[in-house]
């Protein structure tokens, strides 16, 4: 890219209680210079083998090397790239990974878990992270898809459909352990209000009430709340955020693990410009999106293509089709009925390298789906959260 791209650090969206302070000023831009996209190597393309006219076939004296007498004779050629070479990503040091939020956000922790040693790139919005990867400002993005308590992050499902040049190349699960943070010297009994992301506040509602904290202030992200409290030196407001945020912004941890439910896990997707090569020697998951014709039992029939092949579905999400939000039903009624038209997002436990999965998708596409896209086929995260 000829110009640099600016990724904006998020600032709190202030929802003050009675007598609250005025809205804080917006944060400055963080500029990240775009780099030129790397040349991609397609492992599915055949590798060229030396022949009579190839320079690689000549010996050190310029005399052509002898040609084997039989096709069965082995030829010493460079080893072709394998899927293990391309999907291992053993060297992630310096890889630029975009995430939504301020430094210290849970998304940053997920990015570092997914790509150890990476260079994290904070983005103000989810869409900014998508755009950062598309424009080569970042190499990857790690963004939340669902939380065990709060459910799906619908915005990212919509963005997956819009940014069709990006592919899901992995998933990572992260245990969310909320802490109550405040400025140095502030005690829990001094706090009148708690500031954080709306989901974080909801996940800690009972604990905050038990601690005597009455008011809630919703902002864009958890780390942004910690940053704002530290910058404004607030004495009566605490932040619900991570221990990393406390370390980054010099705050005290007044209470740990304040979430109402201890089993609080967020699943993140890993996005890249190029898909990885699917394998069958380890657990894989495939994510798709499709739409169907109107009619009784259409969804049942569509899902049967997986059941008949004993493919397990792990998630299903429906979202209104934004390009066709309403559909007129032909029910032979005097007044036409209008229904929402939906897209269906499905995750299933199989690799796209598995002929069984390929047959299921071919069956779905040919018999039932009016639209079908594979969002990614990637290793299942089996690590500890």
Q: Which of 126, 130, 268, 284 is catalytic?
A: 268
Per-residue model confidence (pLDDT) at position 93:
82
Q: Which of 11, 266, 306, 344 is catalytic?
A: 266
C-alpha 194/C-alpha 170 separation (Å) is 34
Per-residue model confidence (pLDDT) at position 90:
59
User: At 373, which helix (H) or strand (E)?
Assistant: strand 369-379
Per-residue model confidence (pLDDT) at position 337:
54
Per-residue model confidence (pLDDT) at position 78:
47
Per-residue model confidence (pLDDT) at position 269:
98
Annotated active-site residue 266? The verdict is yes
C-alpha 139/C-alpha 271 separation (Å) is 9
Per-residue model confidence (pLDDT) at position 149:
86
Rounded average pLDDT per 10-residue block, the chain, 385 residues: 44 46 42 40 38 40 44 44 44 89 95 95 96 97 93 93 96 96 96 95 94 94 96 97 96 96 93 95 96 91 97 94 59 58 95 96 96 96 82
Model pTM score: 0.73
Per-residue model confidence (pLDDT) at position 339:
61
Token pair for 15: 């929802």
C-alpha 348/C-alpha 376 separation (Å) is 11
């Amino acid at each position: 890219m000829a110009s640099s791209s600016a990724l904006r650090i998020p600032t709190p969206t202030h929802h003050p209680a009675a007598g609250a302070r005025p809205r804080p000023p917006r944060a400055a831009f963080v500029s990240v210079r775009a780099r030129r996209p790397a040349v991609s190597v397609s492992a599915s393309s055949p590798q060229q083998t030396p022949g009579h006219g190839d320079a690689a076939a000549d010996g050190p004296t310029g005399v052509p090397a002898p040609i084997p007498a039989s096709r069965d004779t082995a030829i010493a050629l460079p080893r072709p790239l394998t899927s293990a070479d391309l999907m291992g990503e053993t060297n992630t040091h310096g890889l630029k990974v975009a995430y939504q939020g301020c430094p210290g956000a849970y998304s940053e922790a997920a990015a570092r878990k997914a790509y150890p040693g990476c260079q994290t790139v904070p983005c103000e919005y989810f869409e900014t992270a998508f755009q950062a990867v598309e424009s080569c400002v970042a190499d990857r993005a790690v963004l939340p898809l669902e939380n065990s308590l709060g459910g799906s992050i619908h915005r990212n499902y919509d963005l997956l459909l819009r940014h069709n040049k990006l592919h899901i190349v992995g998933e990572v699960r992260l245990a969310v352990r909320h802490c109550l943070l405040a400025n140095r010297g502030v005690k829990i009994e001094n706090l009148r209000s708690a500031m954080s992301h709306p989901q974080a506040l909801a996940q800690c509602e009972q604990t905050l009430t038990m601690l005597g904290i009455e008011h809630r202030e919703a902002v864009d992200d958890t780390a942004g709340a910690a940053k704002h409290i530290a910058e404004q030196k607030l004495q009566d407001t605490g932040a619900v955020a991570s221990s990393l945020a406390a370390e980054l912004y010099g705050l005290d941890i007044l209470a740990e693990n304040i979430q109402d439910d201890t089993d609080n896990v967020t699943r993140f997707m890993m996005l890249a410009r190029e898909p990885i090569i699917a394998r069958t020697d380890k657990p894989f998951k495939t994510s798709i999106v499709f739409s169907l014709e109107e009619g009784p039992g259409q969804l049942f029939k569509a899902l049967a293509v997986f059941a008949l092949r004993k493919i397990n579905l792990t998630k299903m999400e429906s979202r209104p089709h934004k390009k066709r939000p309403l559909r007129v039903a032909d029910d032979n009624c005097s007044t036409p009925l209008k229904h929402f038209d939906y897209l269906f997002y499905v995750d299933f436990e199989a690799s796209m390298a598995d002929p069984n999965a390929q047959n299921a998708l071919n069956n779905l596409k040919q018999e039932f789906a009016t639209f079908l896209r594979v969002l990614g086929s990637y290793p299942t995260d089996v690590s500890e959260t």
